[in-house]
Amino acid sequence: MAQTFNTPPVKFLENRDKQHFIDGRWSASLAGETLQTFNPGDGTVLATLARGRKEDIDAAVAVARRAFEGPWSALTPHDRYMLMLKVADVIEKNFDELSLLDTLDMGAPLTRTRAMKKGLLRTITYFAAQAMNWGGMSVPNSLPGSFTTFTLKAPVGVVGSVTPWNAPLVSMWWTMGGILASGCTGVIKPSEEASLSTLRTAELLVEAGVPPGVINVVTGLGAEAGAPLASHMDVDRIMFTGSTVTGREIIKSSATNMKRVNVELGGKSPDLVFADADLDKAVPGAAMGVFNNSGQICSAGTRVFVERKVQEEFVERFAAFTRKLRVAHPLDPQAQLGPVVSRRQMERVLEYLKIGQDEGAQLRAGGERIGGELSDGFFVAPTVFANASNDMRIAREEIFGPVATIIPFDTMEEALQLANATEYGLGGAVWTTNLSKAMKFVHAVKAGKLWVNCYGHQDEQMGFSGTKQSGYGMKGGAAHMEGFLYEKSVCINND
């Protein structure tokens, strides 16, 4: 019998038919079409979404352009700062509802989404501070005569964003935060797999005082709504988080009007464990570097390279840790891992479990769909493959599920070569008590964000990026704000 939990009341889901949010109000799809979104914990229909197409994107972009050129542009940096503090208050007041929506929509345990509160509020207030922290500078010149030269910065205009399903509660703020802090406006196309918290947040922004039309949300499929947004002639910047395949298409589409582009794409991040590492920390740290959010994190450290002299001990401890992880219904207060986001994603992961065994990797834990009381949901047991090689498909291709591939190495040189032998360059980590090894890793590994004796920690003030096929453009930090601005060079003749 399937396991059931009583879902706390969610006011936003009293009406399960959800429309676009454009110009501060709900708006049906112009074609009258809809999509269903499912609860991955039990496979039931959660809500119906408007199925956006090009005409819906056109309408939302036109609204965003009017808002950009309207009274919103007259707000001072301090006005935007104060407004964002009000936004933070409203988000905090409604956080329990937002976190529950994310749990129901994409399957992360409620314990995980509730734990995001402090980080989310820190992100919003960080961007609030950035509203008063950008500008130009005076520049000395070598021109004959008397001239004053300086630079000014200004918001680029309308920002389009296609956001992922694996952490909507946080992901949307890389766009929303930059928009509100810079004075831009935007249109967000959330993943059709998890749109509800984005829709509710857009509604709450208006409640907090953000003018209608500054943030608009159009739901729908990537090919039908995301692609028209990426190619739209009146969108000045496009942001995308998702697969490398789709990212390439986004970049191509941006050429229509030379949009600025920020793309965070796939990953197959290396996690190196040396024999001198503290295994009491390295085992759970590396395991959760893979299994956190059921493996649905772009920078997950899914290629675990272990120095051969401690490989077997590490694998035994890693597999034992994995088998003790509690995979449960997302509303179970004891759940450590939940389902993957959809049936399609579950089937993809299960196919890779078969591929790994066919390739000759040694299955040491998991390797199956979880049945019994979880049989109605999309649950995959956290899986450990050992004695693998870096040329196997499970080591080369992004699975985006709870699958760890453990690969032995003998020397530092070999470990670094294996770490960089991938088309991706998003993240990576090293576990060692030797500072020299740690610094060699940091300097040698080609990836946008690196950790030493930890995994996955993120500070919006530092920011992060990718390289190679993992994309480009900073998220967080001063460089993130630069993407929402363009620069004017000014020369004044003083004579």
11-264+470-489 and 270-457 in the same fold: no
Question: What architecture is domain 11-264+470-489?
Answer: 3-Layer(aba) Sandwich (3.40)
Number of continuous H segments (helices) and E segments (strands) in the chain = 16, 20
pLDDT profile of the chain (495 residues), mean per 10: 70 95 97 96 96 98 98 97 98 98 97 96 96 94 96 98 96 97 98 98 98 98 97 98 95 95 96 98 98 97 98 98 98 97 97 98 98 96 97 98 98 98 98 98 97 94 92 91 96 95
| Residue with tokens 């038919």, as numbered in its chain | 17
Q: Which residue of the set 192, 203, 298, 460 is catalytic? A: 298
CA angle 177/182/184 to nearest 5° reads: 90
Q: What angle do CA 272, 473, 134 make, to 5 degrees?
A: 125
On whether the CB atoms of residues 176 and 203 are closer than 8 A, the answer is: no
Alpha carbon 246 to its chain's center: 15
Instruction: Decide if 141 contacts 149 (C-beta within 8 A).
Output: yes
Catalytic residue status for 298: yes
Residue 4: predicted pLDDT: 65
Instruction: Provide the residue type at 403 as one letter.
Output: V
Tokens of 131: 């509203």
- Asked if 138 and 210 touch (Cβ cutoff 8 Å), the reply is no
Contact 452, 245 (CB under 8 A): no
**Choosing from 193, 264, 398, 460, which is the catalytic residue?**
264
- Is the Cβ–Cβ distance between 307 and 434 less than 8 Å? no
Each domain of the chain, given as residue ranges in start order, spans 11-264+470-489, 270-457
Kindly report the pTM of this predicted structure: 0.95
pLDDT at 8: 79
Predicted pLDDT of residue 2: 55
**Fold of the CATH domain 270-457:** Aldehyde Dehydrogenase; Chain A, domain 2 (3.40.309)
Looking at residue 419, its pLDDT comes to 98
Q: What is the pLDDT of residue 6?
A: 74
Q: Which residues contact residue 390 at a Cβ distance below 8 angstroms, ignoring those fewer than 6 apart?
A: 303, 396, 407, 418, 421
What pLDDT sits at residue 461? Answer: 86
Predicted local distance difference test score (pLDDT) of residue 373: 94
pLDDT of residue 172: 97
454 is catalytic: no
